[in-house]
Amino acid sequence: MTGLRWGILATGGIAGAFASDLRSAGLDLVAVGSRSQESADAFAAAHGIAPEHTHPTYEALVADPDVDIVYVSTPHPMHHDNARLALEAGKHVLVEKAFTVNRAEAESLQRLGAERGLLVMEAMWTRYLPQMVRMRELIASGALGEIRTVSASHTQYLPSDPAHRLNALELGGGALLDLSIYPISFIWDVLGAPTSIQAAGRLVETGADAEVATVMVHEGGAVSTSFSSSRAAGSNTASILGTRARIEIQPAWSSASTLRLIAPDGTVLEEIGGPPAPDAPRGMEHEAHAAERLVRDGLLEGDILPIAQTVAIMGTLDEIRAQIGVTYPTEESHNG
């Protein structure tokens, strides 16, 4: 197999961004599935998908024999069932972050993927960006010395309408699954699992979280902090402080950005990257390339974000939610 044939499940904004990046990278986007033919047709027209692969149901999409891998881009509470549908149809899956709404659902998909011999991968696209690849190389080389603290934020001014998906608990709304997942996953990438978690949050009228802050301790005593908000926009920088040097990623660390390795005296030892051109791909093609390489090599997971770590990160989010008092109404059906 020289390349995978991609199908996209759902037609929202993130699906469109992913489709555009697939096309820009020359990858093989062949099919789309929606809950209506009208929506599927509009998406197909925008992204060059043939009518015979434009499906009015998710069931029809996963049954398409010309689809090898399905990108799941529905709201968070639907990820589990939609990914299971694709896996049971024999398709590999790339599931948009947050992977599920809790650890129990994530474990269910992990088991099913292993049973079926299929790739199950979280679409945490920022992990595959070039500056993140270089970051891990610098850490592995010892350039930072002993890492003592990691800090990252992700803040956006998002709609405050109580009826909007981002504020609806039944749709997994709130800052945690949409925004906090980025810095929490970043911290895991650098420091691994936390040994202790302290979280605070502010809930809005729907019961969803608008702000979430964490302080976590990791093996060896390193400390991490994160902050997310859906009601205010900040600088969204990230820093890793080591005993020999530090890394700063800005102006927005969770997209194509600039990484600087800086000595204690402020000397810039290395600088890579920069903001993308206005017409450049968003960067989601890197995770798609990674998924294709894994399938080509007969692997069910990679080193950058193995499924076991995705599952464990969902457990971290579960603990944060318990501390700030958020429960999703859809969880009961998948917690068995």
| Enclosing domain of residue 249 | 130-277
Q: Is residue 334 part of a domain?
A: no
Position 22 pLDDT exceeds 70: yes
Q: Is residue 157 part of a domain?
A: yes
Q: Is the peptide bond before 98 cis (omega within 30 degrees of 0)?
A: yes
Q: Which residue type does 308 have?
A: A
Q: Are residues 201 and 101 in the same domain?
A: no
Q: Give 157's DSSP letter.
A: B
Contact present, 229 and 167 (Cβ < 8 Å): no
How many CB atoms within 10 Å of residue 215?
14
Beta-carbon contacts of 257 under 8 Å, excluding residues fewer than 6 positions away, are 131, 249, 250, 251, 273, 274, 275
Q: What percent of the chain has pLDDT over 90?
A: 91
Q: What are 110's two structure tokens?
A: 């992990």
Q: Are residues 270 and 300 in the same domain?
A: no
Q: Which CATH number goes with the domain that contains 116?
A: 3.40.50.720
Cα–Cα dist 125/96, whole Å:
9
Q: Which CATH number goes with the domain that contains 240?
A: 3.30.360.10
Write down the pLDDT at residue 73.
98
Confidence of residue 36 (pLDDT cuts 50, 70, 90): very high
Q: Is residue 220 part of a domain?
A: yes
Contacts 24+ apart (CB under 8 A), 319-323: 319/197, 319/199, 320/176, 320/180, 320/184, 320/197, 320/199, 320/201, 320/212, 320/214, 321/176, 321/209, 323/197, 323/198, 323/199, 323/200, 323/201
Write down the pLDDT at residue 1.
47
Q: Are residues 105 and 175 in the same domain?
A: no
Q: Are residues 79 and 134 in the same domain?
A: no
Q: Are residues 172 and 269 in the same domain?
A: yes
Q: Are residues 205 and 156 in the same domain?
A: yes
Per the structure, the count of domains in the chain is 2
Q: Is residue 95 part of a domain?
A: yes
* Residue closest to 102 by CA, chosen among 305, 324, 335: 335
SS3 121: strand
Cα–Cα dist 316/217, whole Å:
12
Write down the pLDDT at residue 275.
73
Q: Are residues 155 and 241 in the same domain?
A: yes
pLDDT, one tens digit per residue, over 121-132 is 999 999 999 999
Q: Are residues 197 and 227 in the same domain?
A: yes
pLDDT, one tens digit per residue, over 182-238 is 999 999 999 999 999 999 999 999 999 999 999 999 999 999 999 999 999 998 999
Q: Is residue 81 part of a domain?
A: yes
pLDDT, mean over the chain? 95
Residue 312 host element (H or E): helix 307-324
Position 320 pLDDT exceeds 70: yes
Q: Is residue 68 part of a domain?
A: yes
Write down the pLDDT at residue 2.
65
Beta pairing, strands 223-229 & 120-123? unpaired
pLDDT, one tens digit per residue, over 227-267 is 999 999 998 999 999 999 999 998 889 888 899 999 999 99
